[in-house]
Amino acid sequence: MLKNIFGGITILLDRPFKVGDKIEIGNSYGEVLQLGLRSTRIRTADDSIVTVPNSDLVSKSVSNSNAGEANCQVVAEIFLPLTVDTELVRNIAVEAAQISQYVFLNKPIAVLFFHHALEDRVYYRMRLKAYVLDIRYEFAFKSDMTEIVTRELLARGIVKPGDYYARADQ
């Protein structure tokens, strides 16, 4: 209990995060709801409330997604076959991000491609990175980007339903 109280004092003095920030500690990622002397509460993407002992927050690595700013970078991942034209896919993804109601256009949009093995096959893992206006739009933006880019790629015949994989991760 003393470790948690000292951890709480350290958090209050150092301010590595504050209420409203999105943090990741261990397997938990979510919005900080409450800072207490013994523990910190965060709301996860599935609307669960996780209570983290402050001793964990000062002894383990904590990632802060927005560090007090309203905007933050969000990454949507889409898995594509190696046969796609990456330049064309990049243009489609950037355009989708630019017209999103959630995007913060004062910061850069990037589309990166990486080789990735999935289900015994090699694919491109496309990472669409952009900033949202408000951290609360994080999951809506990921969902929009996955849906819009997928729909456009299928409509143009760039990918076929059988060789397409999509997911949105942080």
Domain end call among 24, 44, 64: 64
Domain end call among 43, 64, 85: 64
So what's the pLDDT on residue 166? Answer: 47
So what's the pLDDT on residue 59? Answer: 81
pLDDT at 17 over 60: yes
Q: What is the mean pLDDT of residues 53-69?
A: 81
- When comparing pLDDT for 88 and 57, which is higher? 88
Beta-bridge partners for 130: 74
CATH number of the domain residue 11 falls in: 2.30.30.60
So what's the pLDDT on residue 92? Answer: 97
Res. 33 pLDDT band, cuts 50 70 90: very high
Q: What is the DSSP string of 118-141?
A: ETTEEEEEEEEEEEESSGGGHHHH
pLDDT at 12 over 60: yes
Res. 89 pLDDT band, cuts 50 70 90: very high
CATH number of the domain residue 155 falls in: 3.30.70.100
* Number of domains composing the chain: 2
Res. 169 pLDDT band, cuts 50 70 90: very low
- The CA distance from 146 to 127, in Å, is 11
pLDDT at 75 over 60: yes
pLDDT at 26 over 50: yes
141 with 94, same domain: the answer is yes
Range of the domain at 135: 72-167
40, containing H or E segment = strand 39-44
pTM for the full predicted model = 0.71
- When comparing pLDDT for 38 and 118, which is higher? 38
So what's the pLDDT on residue 120? Answer: 78
